[in-house]
Structures are given as C-alpha cells and as structure tokens.
Chains A and B, each alone.
Chain A
Amino acid sequence: MIKHIGQWCIVGLAGVGFAPQTHALENPQWDGFITYEQARVGNQYLPITPNAKPKYTTTATAVVKYTADLKNGGYVQFDVQNLYRTNRPTLSQVNQMFVATPHADNQIRMGRMVLSHGTAYGYEPLDFFHGQSPSGGLFKPQSHGVDGVAYERYLEAGDIRFLAVQNRGRYVRAMHTANPHRNKTKRTTVGVQGSFLFGDAEVFASAYQTQIPKLGQQNSAGAGVSYAPNDEAVLYTSFMHHNRINDYRQNQNTPNRNPAIRTRDMFTYGNVGNRTAYTAGVNYTLESQNLNIIAETSQRATGLSRAGFLALSEPLNNPQFGVPSATTPLLNHGMRRSTLIRLSPADGEYYPEFVVVRPQGGGSINRVLKTWTFADVFGDINGYDRGEFKLSYEFRNGGKRTWVGNLSARNTVRLGISIPLY
C-alpha cells in the first residue's frame, strides 16, 4: 500500500512539474479530520454464530485534503486517508491526486480523480464507478478515484465529459466485484458523460466501453432525467444497460466458505451480461411540517458485492471509506432490488434522519442518526466548531427469503466523534 501511495505521489508531482511555469503552488488550503467511532453490535447472523455475544468494534479514520492553485490558472488536489478497524487490516488509500487546468469553459484533469454522474439520492445506475449501495445519498462516500485523464466542457446549460481511465475492479461496483480475481484486475474504460438542462428537466446520458483483461469487453450505456414539477418536489429516474462480457467464465472461486449459506445465485453472480439497472425516486418537501421525504426504488445490475452490502447495512461505521468493519454474510450477491425511504428536517440541517431500506425478498434496515456539533454542546469553540458528535441506532431484521435472511435481528448502537484537523 505504501508503494502504491508513493507511486501516485510521484505521478502527481510529475503532473505538477509537467506543466511549465506551474510548479509554484499558491493559495494552499489544507483540510481534514479525524473520526473515532465505537460500536456495539448485537447478535450476528444465526447460521454461523447462533448465540453470538454483542461485539464491540472501534474505527478510527484520518482524512487529509490539499488544494492549491497553479500559476497558469490551474490547480492541484490530493486527498488521502487512513483507516484503522478492529480485527481488520489498516487501510491506507489515495482517493484523489490530480492536476486540473481549467481554461474558460474547458477543463482537463490528469491523475487519480473521482468521476461521478447522475443525481439520485441513493443508488445511481449512471454513476458507473460508484453507487452499488442504495442507502447512501447526501452523505454517501464516493471517494474512490480512478486513474487517467478527463476532458470536461462546460456548456451554457450543461456539460460533457470525455474520459479514459484505468481502474481497479474492486472499485467498479457497477460491475461484478464479488470475484476476488476480477477484483484485482485493472480495467481500462473509455466513456462519455453528459448532462443538459432543458427548462425544469435535467437530462443525463453516458456510455462506456471497458476492457477487462482475460475476460473481454463490456459495453454500458444509460440515460436519466430529473424534473421539478413544482416548488416542493423533484422526480428522478435513470437506467444503465450493461451488455454481456464476450469471454465470460463461470466463477469457481466462490467466496462462500460456509456450505450452510448457499443460494441459487451462487454460480451466476459473476455474470453481469445483458442486465439493466434502474432507479426511480421522489424528493418531496412539506414546508409547513419542516419535513423532507425521499422515496426511492432501485435495481442494480448485479447483486450487492460484499463491500456494497457493508455500505448498505452499516454506512455510518466509516462513511469516508464505505467499507465498515462489522461482520457480514459471506454471500449477498443476489440482492438486486431495494426500496428506501428517508425522513429528515427540511430546514437545511439534514439531521436527525430516519432511513428505512427494504431489500429484495424481505427484511429491513432501519436507521436513526443524530449529530451535534461541538458548538451545540459546548458553545462556540474557535476553530473546532466543525467538530461533531454523532449517535446512531440501527435495527436490522433479516427476511427469510433473502440474503439478509441469513441474519437474525440485530441492533447496533454507534457513538462517534469527528475533529477537524485544520
């Protein structure tokens, strides 16, 4: 991992040095925070640990971001993070490290960058490099960068982006992330993303062609629209179609090591051929009640990956990584469809929030989250007003006919603290 970070430091610095007269950085801005969370997790999934005792986990995260201007009008940005988790390897990661050269309404970015698309609250099929979890939304981490170059053109009422990137499979959740071999392969993707505003409707479209070593080529294309019919509501929907990989091979290396958990999709989850993902939702504000409601239904191209399931079930554990630490079922790849309802204040505070996720086949995940800033608790503290405490409670109830059915009901309480570094 250290080697990997070093590699991209070199790439980033080379990028800075590549632009003539731009090596002097101006207006540097540091940002970052440390997060510490303690969780008490109730009963685990029954087939494996029927009488499990409550489990205590600790998570600590450090995130550092840096941005500075170049003399030619461009800017550099990097974003690194380090995650400690109880009983799991410490994870270090460079999310972004790129050089950008905006000129008038054009911009070229080179390096590792986050490329997202679409506007759905939870699962967004058009967000090709992210977006398997349907429960994230406003606070969902989408920090996984891909390596390459992107040309972005900002139009009067929209934008268009051409990209050529290489990405590690583990982060391409729009495809199949369950196969550990595929996870390690590097894929090369060329694509185009566009969004255009027509009156009150914003239209999205994107298309990608991905070369996967030893497997072949996958083509994906999709479109979406968001529309505000009145002052209170926003409707949105989108879809993405993925075609069959030319050289599909059945996955024999199942991650399931427990024969007690086998399902009909065990041998097919690696195949994403000819599948369509979609999402549709509404964001409605009841101003007189100070209430914002988001309701969304979605279907993914494949079932959730393990990381996707973790992000779905426990996104609060480590929102920066989306890779929480608690134990999870070994197989959950069949869970494709889900619905989500989120209730929160409409006064811009966003918390407390109440989220209910109903996965395919039954069961539910119910979450309540409340935060307090340091200023709320202690009064104004110069420089640390951004610090916050957060308390969440999650009740997960597995249905019998779903992947989550391997789980018993489970209660999780989390208490966290986040301290700004700068």
Chain B
Amino acid sequence: MRKLMTKITLASTMMLATLITPLITSLPAWAGDWNSLIERLDSNRVFARNGQIMTLKLQSFKDGKPNTAESLRVYTHVDNRQTVALFLDTKRKGQKMLMRDNNFWMIMPKSSRPVRISAVQRVMGEASSGDIASLSYVQDYTVQSGVDKGDTATLTLMAKHKGVTYAKAILVVDKKRGIPLSGDYYLKSGKHSKSVAFTYRADGDKWRTQTVTLTDIIRKNRKTVMTYSDEQAKPLPARLFNAKYLVSGGKLPS
C-alpha cells in the first residue's frame, strides 16, 4: 500500500511539474523580479560598456517658448562610470564636463585648471550634470518597491550612493519593451525636483532613447528637452577621462 501511495505521489508530482513548468517559463522574466527589469532598462540605454559616444542636443523652454540651446558630444565608459561631455556650440564651445564616479569637474577653454563642481550644478536649463552623465540605473539605484499595472509597472528606485543626483526616482516602465516611459525625480531632502518623460526609436531589437524631457517642478514654467543622436561604439582609453589630459589640449575622438 505504501509503495502504491509513493508511486501515486511521484506520478502526481511529475504531472504537476509537467503542467506547471510551461506556465512558469511562459511568464515574463520581470514578474516579481524588479531587479532584472532595471537591468533591461540599462540594456536599452547602454550599447557599448567600454566606450560609447553620442551627440546630445539640449533645448530649454521657458513659458513654452524656446530659451537656450546647446549641443554636446558625450563620451562614456559605462563600466568605469566615467563620462566626458564636450560643448559644441554657442558661447560655451570648447567647455568640457568630466564625471568620474560621483565627482564632477568643469574644464573651461580659457583656463588650464579644472574646477570641481557639485552634482546638482546644472549643465544647462533643467539638465544637471547627473542627467547628462548617468546612464546606468543598476549602478546608481536599487529597487525599493514595484507595482505591477498590467503592461506597465511603477518602480520606486533609491540611490545606492550619495553622489547620485537624485536620491529617489519613481519610474513608469513599459514591461514588454523594457524601457522607462516617464518618472519623477526627488532630491535627498525629499523635495520633488523634476518630472521626466522619454521617447524612443527602434534599433533592431533594441529601443534607443531619442528624447528625455525634464520638467522643473519647482519652477513649473521651465523644461529642457535632451535629444540623443549619432551614437557610436568605440573603446575609449582611460586618459580621455582624466582632467589633466583634457586641460592639456588632449583631443577627444570625433
């Protein structure tokens, strides 16, 4: 009798396993695993970890009217958390902003000494240094909580370390495509600083960020649109991310 019961139990278990396994594997990878979801967010933002170059156009608006514009060439070594942004036009041509980990410097063309700036010091309009330089959610944030809303999910992200520009970010994420659609950024003080909205373009099986719109919550009449283009993958040597090299006239790849 005991042998029969054992056989029945084993058979039931196998049948159950046979039935459940396809169900489990057919579930999206994000279900209940918010960390893997933000890794997917990164994979759509990062296309070459040891060196990616892109052009970034910043257009700020005040009361709905275009205010100032700036173009930058942004060089990023994602693994080392290093970024250089070169200003391309208007009166700031030749200025460079360097980010290493959570530290920022401005390098002015008429000065041979880099000046260290704070993380919240803005590059232009509502775009702070961190908005330009940060690419990886995984490196900067941990998921505090997530709310599943069908096709989308709302993730609450908390900064892993103090140098991250925003202490808290709430992102509405498209689960299927693995991209953030909109969000809200909060300062360490808890103050709601900016709201953000993203648009994308398809690139093979990836979705590349096309625009990021930052709307100032404190000064509600202002917003800045960041438009990405001309992406390249190119290994970037360490010297490009050294302030001394940059002030000595060292050239960046075109």
Contacts and interface: CB of A to CB of B under 8 A. Distances in A.
Contacts of B32: none
A407 B119 CA distance: 41
Interface string B180-222: 0000000110010100000000000000000000000011000
Interface string A152-183: 10111101010000000000000000000000
A232 B238 contact: no
B160 to A, nearest CB: 14
Contact of B242 (A137, A142, A154, A285): A154
Contacts of B188: 230-231
A373 B124 contact: no
Interface in A221-238: 226, 228, 230-234, 236
Contacts of B94: 31
Interface in A248-282: none
A359 to B, nearest CB: 22
B103 A320 contact: no
B113 A161 contact: no
B90 A385 contact: yes
Given A114-B112, A119-B116, A346 B244 contact: no
A1 interface: no
A152 B248 contact: yes
A283 B128 CA distance: 16
B173 to A, nearest CB: 25
Interface stretch (A16-24, A48-56, A97-105, A208-216): A97-105
A130 B112 contact: yes
A105 B239 contact: yes
B247 interface: yes
A140 B134 CA distance: 29
Contacts of B12: none
Please report whether the interface of chain B is mostly helix, strand, loop or mixed according to DSSP: loop
Nearest to A140: B111
Contacts of A319: 110
Given A69-B251, A138-B106, A287-B193, A116 B121 contact: no
Taking each of A109, A141, A200, A319, which has the highest tally of chain B beta carbons within 10 Å of its own beta carbon? A200
Interface string B211-235: 0000000110000000000000000
Given A154-B238, A288-B191, A347 B113 contact: no
Contacts of B80: 156
B118 interface: yes
Given A102-B245, A288-B218, A348-B123, 8 more contacts: A75-B249, A116-B247, A152-B245, A200-B162, A234-B116, A284-B118, A287-B120, A349-B68
Interface of B: 68, 80, 89-94, 100-103, 105-106, 108, 110-128, 162-165, 187-188, 191, 193, 218-219, 237-239, 242-245, 247-251, 254
21 contacts: A102-B250, A105-B238, A107-B248, A119-B114, A138-B108, A138-B115, A139-B108, A142-B111, A143-B112, A154-B242, A154-B244, A156-B238, A228-B163, A230-B162, A285-B118, A287-B120, A346-B120, A348-B124, A349-B124, A385-B90, A388-B91
